[in-house]
Structure 1
Amino acid sequence: MNAGPASAPPGLWQPDLMRQQQADYTVADLLDLPDDAPRVELVDGVIQVTPSPTLGHQDISLLLAHWLLQHVPADLRVVQAIGVGLSSNTSRQPDVLLRRASVASTRSKLRAEDVVLAVEIVSPGTRRIDRFAKPGEYAAAGIPYYWRIEQDPVHVYAYRIGDRVGPGGERQYELITDGADVIELGEPFDIKLPIAEITP
């Protein structure tokens, strides 16, 4: 009879506690995550599990991606929820993004310079991050355009990198336009988006 401790069944992957405390993770580490790892983002060297989106959030995301697929020029591609390295120790997953078509389709992560537009759909649990943290990070990394979509009612805010500089010397976004009925823009391509078409 074996008197040793019974081995516990393996659980789902979790980040290493010591590396989390030391904020030691890098974007390169995300490429080595196991298949059972949850959806995560990397912020200043700390792995953060992202909360599951609501059905309304996912409906808007899918409707927007579908609309963009029908309207983007040939030099852009529509992508959903893929990691974008913003620095050596920060990676985010925009809800929807436009990437350059020249990027190899075999890649599983993007660099900031591959991304033309990052879109975040604000949910109750992500308000502060989507309104303040992510746009600051995207602008600092040089992503030219950012859209924030509020729910209930659906309202789109479209930004582009401006000449304004933040307290840390990084460039910041400036609001181009916003609306709850239609969004008309000339950049990053000619856009006339009826908000009803992305409203569940």
Structure 2
Amino acid sequence: MAMPVEVEPVPQAWPRPPFTVDTLFELPDTGLRYEVLEGALVVVPPPEPAHNLAADRLRERLMSYLAVEVEAITNAAVRLPSGDGPVPDLLVTTGDPAEHPRGFPADLVHTVIEVVSPSNASDDRVKKAALYAGAGIPCYWRVELRSWREHFGPVPAIVVRLLGDDGEWHTTLHPAGETHRLPVVVDRTPTIVPIEIDPAVLLGRRR
């Protein structure tokens, strides 16, 4: 009687440069998250529970305002014209997930939201902001859970950068402690839906 032979799994080949958004879908499943930023493959450390809570609560709030043809989706890749593939914590899109299993084209992404983690704060504040703007995504929210150099006031705070009718970028800061009306772009018209939120609810106890 032949004895069963254990066959060692063949390790999946690691992709080589140049890295693009498609690289993200060729990587072996290691339990880590990756992005492609400025042609570099970047490891995204596991987020803290507070980070996930803020993103989840923000998605819940957005969905209550959005029309049925608009989705707020977590951790989906954005296919930038440059070939890069950032993976925001949350994006607002009119794209059909079934039609775009390998990430949404930038022209179908209307608002992106990043919850800043200490390990990749510079990427969220500088690098990704530039990439999203360069791709023509008109609205970018940055959720700050801790004080930073430009703001030592109440947190969480939401920084919104919006492309105005004048073709200029306008940045506003919205700290915890009061209700703000924040713009969410939901299509390429662009149509803006105002969202009422006190950033304090992103981490506070549910009532």
One fold, TM greater than 0.5? yes
Specify the alignment match of 2:96 in structure 1: 104
Give TM-score scaled by structure 2 length: 0.75
Q: What CA RMSD, in Å, does the superposition of the two structures yield over aligned residues?
A: 2.4
Alignment of 1:135-174 (within 5 A): 135-152=129-146, 153-162=155-164, 163-164=167-168, 173-174=169-170
Contact 1:118 1:146 in 2 (8 A): yes
Specify the alignment match of 1:4 in structure 2: none
Q: State which of 42, 47, 51 in structure 1 corresponds to 2:45.
A: 51
How far 1:47 moved relative to its partner?
1.6
One-letter code of the match for 2:33?
R
- Tell me, in whole angstroms, the C-alpha distance in 2 between the residues paired with 1:72 and 1:141: 23
Structure 1's 190 and 139: CA in aligned 2 closer, same or farther, altered over 3 A? same
Secondary structure at the aligned position of 2:80 is classed as: strand
Specify the alignment match of 2:33 in structure 1: 39
- Tell me, in whole angstroms, the C-alpha distance in 2 between the residues paired with 1:186 and 1:50: 28
Specify the alignment match of 2:79 in structure 1: 85
- Structure 1 runs of 4+ with >6 Å offset: none
Secondary structure at the aligned position of 2:71 is classed as: strand
Specify the alignment match of 2:182 in structure 1: 185
Structure 1's 121 and 186: CA in aligned 2 closer, same or farther, altered over 3 A? closer
Q: Percent identity?
A: 26
Contact 2:161 2:172 in 1 (8 A): yes
Q: State which of 182, 192, 201 in structure 2 corresponds to 1:197.
A: 201
Specify the alignment match of 2:67 in structure 1: 73
How far 1:183 moved relative to its partner?
2.1
Give TM-score scaled by structure 1 length: 0.78
Contact 1:159 1:177 in 2 (8 A): no
How far 1:58 moved relative to its partner?
0.6
Specify the alignment match of 1:170 in structure 2: none
Equivalent residue pairs, number: 178
Contact 2:62 2:195 in 1 (8 A): no
Gaps of 5+ in 1: 1-6, 165-172
Specify the alignment match of 1:64 in structure 2: 58
Structure 1's 186 and 46: CA in aligned 2 closer, same or farther, altered over 3 A? closer
Gaps of 5+ in 2: 1-6, 147-154, 185-191
How far 1:34 moved relative to its partner?
4.1
For 1:114-156, what per-residue CA distance to the aligned partner results, in whole angstroms no more than 9, with x for missing partners?
1111001111111111111111110000111000111042001
Contact 1:15 1:47 in 2 (8 A): no
One-letter code of the match for 1:182?
T
One-letter code of the match for 1:195?
P
Give the number of the structure whose residues are more often strand, by fraction.
1
Alignment of 1:124-135 (within 5 A): 124-135=118-129
